[in-house]
Amino acid sequence: MEKSRLTYQGTVFPWHCDHMEHMNVMYYVGKFDEASWSLFSDIGLTARRMRDEKKGMVAVEQNIQYKGELMAGDVVAVYSEIIKLTDKSATFRHEMRNVDTGNIAAITTLTGLYFDRVARKAINLPDDIKTKLQDML
């Protein structure tokens, strides 16, 4: 992950864990989602901008690979990078690591589509956002 950036850091709490005593899959998705919104904000696609312009990013595909267990008390960091860009979409990769051990816990690849919330259809990414995403490729 040469052009990756830290987009999330947090703790696994006991209520994130299931009967197997490790973090349940729903919380991996949640932490990856927080990393996605942080990444969007970093490139200028802030919540305010999306509200004001009535635009946004919608997920159209996600793949998760679980590589290792996370337990209550573990601190995790998510590093993100852009791996593909089109006029209307961005595909990015998040890598979740156990901060203490450095081990990869999970990797997800997501494709997000830029979306007009009024017209309810995909539209081209704004030029300023596309430029920032291209710089991250």
What is the block-wise mean pLDDT of the chain (137 residues), using blocks of 10 residues? 89 97 96 97 96 96 97 98 97 98 98 97 97 93
Residue 12's nearest CA partner among 84, 82, 90, 106 is 106
pTM attached to this predicted model: 0.93
CA atoms within 13 A on the CB side of 29: 7
Residue 104 near residue 96, CB atoms below 8 Å: yes
CATH numbers and ranges of domains, the chain:
5-136 (3.10.129.10)
pLDDT of residue 1: 66
**Interatomic CA distance for residues 129 and 114, integer angstroms:** 11
Residue 47 near residue 38, CB atoms below 8 Å: no
Q: What are the residues facing 66 on neighbouring strands?
A: 106
Per the listing, tokens 């589509």 go with 113
pLDDT of residue 10: 98
